[in-house]
Amino acid sequence: MFYESTSVDYSGPFPLLSIDPGPWYHLHTIVFYSLVVAGYWALIAHLRHTKPVFRKQNRLLILSTLVPLSVNFGYIFLDLRPYGHLDLTPFAFLLTSFIIAVGLMRFGLFDVTPMARTRVIQELSDGVAVVDSHGRLIDFNRAFEEILKPREDLFGKRLSECFPAEEMDQAFPDLGEENLQEHILHLKDGRIYEVSSTVLYEKTGLFNGSAVLIKDVTQRIESQHKLEDKTQQLTELNALKDRLFGIIAHDLRGPLINLQETLNLVNSDVISTEERDEILKILGENVEQSVSLMKNLLDWAQSQQKGERLELSLFHVESLVREAVEPLQSLLKRKQQVLELDVSSKLEVYADRERIKIVLRNLVNNSIKFTPVQGKIRVWTEQVQDEVWFFVRDNGVGMSEGQLEKLNKELELESTYGTQNEKGSGLGLMLCRDFLRQHGSKWEVESEMGFGSTFSFSLSALPKDSHPADSDLYKYQ
């Protein structure tokens, strides 16, 4: 049934078997080639979806199996038989073996390296992508997809299309034929990525595309900014420390030495009574300035010891203002200045009472210092919705534009002399600025040379669920 007849043909250079196919032979041939066609269809369909790293290997496999299949097809259907009966299919299998051997040596056929490399790349937490010479995506790993969260297929798209302009603060960089090193990419949703690329060339030197690495550096950049802020704060604190040591060494040490020398002079009985009274008057002024400076130093030291923790409470504004200006009455009397208080007895604020008292004391003291003899200083308050505004105005010498700029930009405040050569360190205003900042407030300054200055700031009139600053900084009473 498989062969109708068989015989030996001696007509050629060597004996050959001559066969006449039977019905089962034809049925076997039809079934065999049907299965071959189905197998190739499935293999080609798989090849279309396989990873690029395996496509060359799959193509080589298909090519090697086509050789004996083509020869066998010619033997059965096209009657391609040398000497009338010779089947070249076994010889074709030898050629297949040779092609596979070349694949093993040249293309790494059946090598696990590409598979392992692909697995490693897929497991990377950084996005990896490959673009062709036209900038189109031809391969990428899972992390790259997680970064983009695409709504459609990414294959064939340009990277600039994968990162839409409306989602970014700047355009995606053009890769071109040059390596890209650590380009920072900011997205509008707050994410930050670092993009690097390496140019890929053929063995002939022809540009073939680029390998792109995308890292999520959001946390790293944020940590770096925090570190820079901490470094800046530490630098400022060191500068402040040096300045305070300078104040202690000069502004405090100097008056104390003068006090010692003056007392020695008074006790020596070499000066007249009138000279002694004049010296003691000047000495009293110097001591008052030193005491004021010492108070500010102690206030600053206490604030540094407590950190930025505030002791918040609800208190009356009028009693606070009167307590703040009471220690300054002797200075007002000496310069024959008028202090006008216009503060409602009903107003209350929610703040750190001691620190706000220090703020008011230093602002009024600053006005006394820079207001001439018989000048006028006015302190008043106004309530605007849920806030109470404090105002301190004088008709003193005023400030220049440069001094106003330093105050508004929170630059270092320089020590200056008052209208009667009162020595200052700038520490009082610095304390005012820091204490107001801790309350979520900021002073407003209006001044004109020769016409005086007005300092103002606001505080909350009622306790709030959320304070302007970090709630962890506050101790509620």
Report pLDDT digits (tens) over 259-302. Answer: 777 777 777 777 777 777 777 776 776 676 677 667 767 766 66
**What is the band of 19 on the pLDDT scale with cuts at 50, 70, 90?**
confident
Give the integer Cα–Cα distance in Å for 141 and 129: 7
The predicted model gives 19-38 an average pLDDT of: 82
Percent of the chain residues topping a pLDDT of 90: 14
Torsions phi, psi of 289, nearest 5? -65, -40
Distance of CA 459 to the CA centre of its chain: 32
Distance CA 121, CA 360 (A): 65
CA distances from 288 to 255, 296, 328, 330 (A): 10, 12, 10, 9
Q: What is the pLDDT of residue 5?
A: 81
In angstroms, the CA 31 to CA 456 distance is: 99
pTM of the model: 0.48
- Tokens at 455, concatenated: 């300092």
Does the domain at 308-476 match CATH 3.30.230.70? Answer given as no
Cα 328 to Cα 198, 361, 425, distances in angstroms: 72, 8, 18
Of the candidates 274, 260, 246, the one whose C-alpha atom is nearest the C-alpha of residue 427 is 246
3-state secondary structure of 321: helix
Question: pLDDT over 70 for what percent of the chain?
Answer: 79
Is residue 132 packed enough to be buried (19+ CB in 10 Å), middle (13-18) or exposed (0-12)?
middle
Strand partners, 207: 201
Domain boundaries, the chain: 3-106, 124-216, 221-293, 308-476
Tell me how far apart the 2 most distant CA atoms of the chain are, in Å.
Answer: 158
Could you tell me which residue, 48 or 136, shows the higher pLDDT? 136
pLDDT tens-digit readout, 84-106: 777 777 877 778 777 777 766 66
Q: What is the pLDDT of residue 285?
A: 64
Indicate the SS3 state at residue 120.
helix
pLDDT for 418: 81
The CATH class given to the 124-216 domain equals: alpha beta
